[in-house]
């Protein structure tokens, strides 16, 4: 085949034939298609889209570029969750041990943060000794002993996606819904889980800003999963304000442990339980209510076993930033807006996030939100506490925070409901 013919077919609005898709993905992975040619094809896909058969076949080709994991040696059904990312989204941390405490095995492959969105692996690496990189055999051992594992994807899993993702990041084609969906689903299907629940975030702090775009992405991913024989359901959830009170790394771990101990912010608890029930239902396990596993301590027990099995010390003190700066309410009234994006950028500028994948993060840096939209505040009360290892970071973080909240004498905030919709 010829790369130019494939590019022209999609450029002119046509559908790519299965053999064209198979060839293009394989040839690009092997280096037989030049970067500029795949850039042109990715842009053509962004502009003209893909049909359901095309995106399913594209995903299948990316899966075939690497290994497929399988968990038949386990005596439990497997189920997994994927979030499209946001601000304060620490749900994976309490969710994986919670679902495992209810009888499922949870092989959770997670990623690192980039820009204003946090990464699960960055959060967990704030726990002294904890390891993100595990071999397949080590993953199986942790699943067998703890019931849940959270780790980085190995290099053999969907290498075509890893290469294409890096290209999309520098060619202005990240926003393509078919390419987003196939990127996520190729890794999740190759991971070998038996059921998958997708948490598609909507709002300023999310990649999808509108409900319509989020629904299109959710429907595309559910279609891919269904056509590959994977039980898949998606929830659209709010990311127009931060999730929970803590935004950062160690501070989000601490908040997750609060949830596992039976406390924590109400929105984090609600979303954790909602996703847990969806995961258990998809895995055919509905005998135990996950709320009971939070109350009786069994979810906390799994957390401690999982962290220990990956080299971490669940009792060790978490890193704490050296410097703090408190942002106070300038007036009394109702907090009507706390913008997720603004808070996320502030945490990033404080050192909790990274601009490039190779950048280090500060485990103690972040933002603590003392009020949520709808709360009544008094003048001079703390609204936010900024944490950083270097006080020179506060000035840029404050620029992000200054326009990120609104206080009115009265009124109700205009917010998405936490759970917006369900796609199955």
Question: Residues with catalytic annotation?
Answer: 82, 161, 168, 183, 187
Q: Which residue has the tokens 């399913």?
A: 56
Cβ atoms within 10 Å, residue 313: 13
* DSSP structure string for 35-75: HHHHHHHHHHHHHH---HHHHHHHHHHHHHTS-----TT-S
Q: Which helix (H) or strand (E) holds 199?
A: strand 195-202
Distance (Å, whole) CA 115 – CA 224? 28
Name every residue whose Cβ is closer than 8 Å to that of residue 359 and which is 6 or more positions away in sequence. none
Rounded Cα distance between 38 and 24, Å, is 8
Query: What 3-state DSSP class applies to 210?
Result: coil
* Residue where the block lists tokens 């051992």: 141
Torsion of CA 416, 277, 367, 169, to 10 degrees: -80
Which helix (H) or strand (E) covers residue 337, if one does?
strand 333-338
Strands 333-338 and 148-152: unpaired
CA 51 from chain centre, in angstroms, equals 26
Q: In angstroms, how far is CA 244 from the centroid of its own chain?
A: 15
Cα-trace Rg, the chain: 22
SS3 content of the chain, % helix, strand, coil (to 5): 45, 15, 40
CB-CB contact of 273 with 91 (8 Å): no
Distance CA 147, CA 22 (A): 36
328 — phi, psi (to 5°)?
A: -105, 160
């Amino acid at each position: 085949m010829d790369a130019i013919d494939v590019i022209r077919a999609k450029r002119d609005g046509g559908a790519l034939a299965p053999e064209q898709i198979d060839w293009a993905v394989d040839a690009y992975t092997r280096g037989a298609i030049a970067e500029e040619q795949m850039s042109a094809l990715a842009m053509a896909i962004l502009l003209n889209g893909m049909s359901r058969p095309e995106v399913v076949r594209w995903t299948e080709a990316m899966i075939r570029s690497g290994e497929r994991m399988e968990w038949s040696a386990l005596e439990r059904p497997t189920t997994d969750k994927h979030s499209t990312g946001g601000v304060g989204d620490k749900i994976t941390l309490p969710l994986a041990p919670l679902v495992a405490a209810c009888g499922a095995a949870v092989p959770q492959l997670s990623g690192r943060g980039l820009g204003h969105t946090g990464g699960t692996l960055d959060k967990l690496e704030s726990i002294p000794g904890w390891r993100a990189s595990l071999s397949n055999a080590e993953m199986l051992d942790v699943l067998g002993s703890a019931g849940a594992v959270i780790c980085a994807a190995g290099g053999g899993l969907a290498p075509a996606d890893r290469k294409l993702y890096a290209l999309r990041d520098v060619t202005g084609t990240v926003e393509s819904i078919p390419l987003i969906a196939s990127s996520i689903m190729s890794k999740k299907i190759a991971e070998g889980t038996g059921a998958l629940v997708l948490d598609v975030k909507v709002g300023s702090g999310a990649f999808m800003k509108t409900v319509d775009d989020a629904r299109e992405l959710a429907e595309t991913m559910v279609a891919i999963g269904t056509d590959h024989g994977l039980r898949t359901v998606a929830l659209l959830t709010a990311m127009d304000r931060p999730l929970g009170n803590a935004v950062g790394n160690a501070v989000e771990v601490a908040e997750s442990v609060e949830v596992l101990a039976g406390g924590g912010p109400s929105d984090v608890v609600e979303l954790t339980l909602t996703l847990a029930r969806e995961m258990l239902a998809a895995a055919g396990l509905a005998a135990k209510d996950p709320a009971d596993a939070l109350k009786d301590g069994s979810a906390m027990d799994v957390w401690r076993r999982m962290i220990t099995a990956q080299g971490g010390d669940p009792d060790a003190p978490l890193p704490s930033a050296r410097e703090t700066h408190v942002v106070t309410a300038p007036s009394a009234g109702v907090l009507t807006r706390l913008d997720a994006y603004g808070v996320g950028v502030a945490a990033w500028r404080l050192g909790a996030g990274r601009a490039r994948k190779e950048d280090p993060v500060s485990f103690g840096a972040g933002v603590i939100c003392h009020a949520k939209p709808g709360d009544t505040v008094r003048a001079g009360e703390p609204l936010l506490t900024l944490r950083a290892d270097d006080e020179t970071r506060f000035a840029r973080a404050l620029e992000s925070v200054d326009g990120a909240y609104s206080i009115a004498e009265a009124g109700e905030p205009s917010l998405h409901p936490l759970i917006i919709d369900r796609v199955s």
